[in-house]
């Protein structure tokens, strides 16, 4: 990806935006672009998207127990420090919040 992208169904400009940077996926609120983005390792993002596609986050399934194994329920922390994101706007603020920077 290059630059920030929004879903094609974003009609009113109040959307989540994503950007891929060196193995990380950054996520921000389009209404608050000056705030630091959330940063997810690509593997974490791919697991989240797969869960969305499987319906794991549909409102009617959120109250039901998960069928995931214990290893799937407990995310492993990323070992990459994300230092390569230093050129991304908001990276310093992200580091202060405990996100890779």
Q: What is the pLDDT of residues 28-64, one digit of tens each?
A: 998 898 999 999 999 999 999 999 999 998 888 777 6
**Any idea where the domains of the chain sit in the sequence?**
5-75+83-88
Which has the higher per-residue pLDDT, 25 or 13? 25
Whole-angstrom Cα distance, residue 77 to residue 95? 15
Percent of the chain with pLDDT strictly greater than 90: 40
| Residue 65 clears pLDDT 90, i.e. is over it | no
Residue, of 64 and 70, whose pLDDT is higher: 64
pLDDT at 72 > cutoff 80: no
Check if the beta carbon of residue 101 is closer than 8 Å to that of residue 38.
no
Cα torsion 38, 40, 45, 51: sign = negative
Higher-confidence residue of 69 and 1: namely 69
Determine the average pLDDT of the residues in 19-33: 93
SS (H, E, C) 24-69: EEEEEECCCCCCCCEEEEHHHHHHHHHHHHHCCCCCCCCCCCCCCC
Q: What is the reported pLDDT for 88?
A: 53
Q: How many CB atoms lie within 10 A of CB 83?
A: 11
20 DSSP β-pair partners = 25
């Amino acid at each position: 990806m290059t630059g920030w992208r929004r879903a094609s169904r974003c009609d009113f400009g109040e959307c989540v935006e994503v950007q891929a940077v060196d193995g990380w996926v950054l996520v921000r609120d389009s209404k608050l672009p000056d705030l630091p983005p959330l940063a997810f390792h690509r593997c974490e993002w791919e697991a989240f998207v797969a869960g969305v596609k499987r319906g794991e986050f549909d409102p009617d399934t959120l109250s039901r127990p998960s069928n995931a194994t214990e290893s799937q329920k407990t995310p492993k922390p990323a070992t990459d420090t994300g230092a390569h994101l230093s050129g991304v706007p908001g990276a310093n603020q992200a580091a202060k919040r405990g996100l890779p920077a």
